[in-house]
Amino acid sequence: MTARIGVITFPGTLDDRDTQRAVRTAGLEAVPLWHRDKDLKQVDAVILPGGFSYGDYLRAGAISRFSPVMESVIDQAKAGMPVLGICNGFQVLTETHLLPGAMLRNNHLHFICRDQKLRVENAETAWTRSYEQGQEINIPLKNIDGRYVADERVLDELEAEGRVVFRYEELNPNGSLRDIAGISNAAGNVVGLMPHPEHAVEPLIGTGRTDGLGFFTSILKRLVSA
């Protein structure tokens, strides 16, 4: 039996199918979860994919945070279940306070869509074990609310504890403080990032590289070793 990875669909989620495909490409079983389900169907890990859940009304990720499925995700995440939030999923994770800080409108106010270089700053989290610390990866980025902010105390704490998992390389696309592209919780099982690894798992699409596949193979390593 292979590991089961839940992929949650909220109203307005766009990248659930790509994420399910990426999960299968890594040799894992993708389990679709609906935002109104409280039952996580005994998955081993959960991914909150990108998109515009609830149309990003109020604030990006704010309404989804109160979906029934999120109650279960919050409980399980606190108990150690691996959770990955990609783009809108990252916004949902900050709104739930599973990750600190908040996401705001890009500093230039434009929607941005580009291939983005990232540096992997922490290869020890549940979702980054297939990478090496300091490795540079190139995966697509597409968002308008991608500016990560937190107060200085929180930023210092994240840096000191190695919880800045990814930083933007060459260009900061949205004004994120300290070039932060992704962070983790203290235990390292919850990770959020703005760029989209699920769009770079096959050479024919996305960046033409498979730099994103490591997220999905990392979780397999983690689940096998757990």
Partner 1 sequence: MARVVVDVMLKPEILDPQGQAVQRALPRLGFEGIADVRQGKRFELEVEGPVDDAALARIHEIAETFLANTVIEDFSVKVEVGEGADASAVKAES
Min CB(112)–partner 1 separation in Å: 13
Catalytic site includes residue 108: no
Catalytic site includes residue 196: yes
Q: Which is nearer to partner 1, 51 or 101 (CB)?
A: 101
Out of 35, 95, 121, 198, which one is annotated catalytic?
A: 198
Where along the sequence are the contacts to partner 1 (CB under 8 A)?
58-59, 62, 66, 94-95, 100-102, 104-109, 147, 149-151, 175
User: Could you give the CA distance from residue 203 to residue 164 in angstroms, rounded to a whole number?
Assistant: 28
Min CB(161)–partner 1 separation in Å: 18
Out of 35, 87, 95, 199, which one is annotated catalytic?
A: 87
DSSP for 168-181 reads E-S--SS--GGGEE
Q: Which is nearer to partner 1, 81 or 181 (CB)?
A: 181
Q: Which is nearer to partner 1, 104 or 223 (CB)?
A: 104
Pairing relation of β-strands 45-48 and 4-9? parallel
Catalytic site includes residue 29: no
User: Could you give the CA distance from residue 222 to residue 226 in angstroms, rounded to a whole number?
Assistant: 6
Residue type at 190? V
Q: Are 37 and 6 in contact (CB under 8 A)?
A: no
Tally of CB atoms within 10 A around 177: 16
Out of 35, 95, 196, 199, which one is annotated catalytic?
A: 196
Instruction: List residues with catalytic annotation.
Output: 87, 196, 198
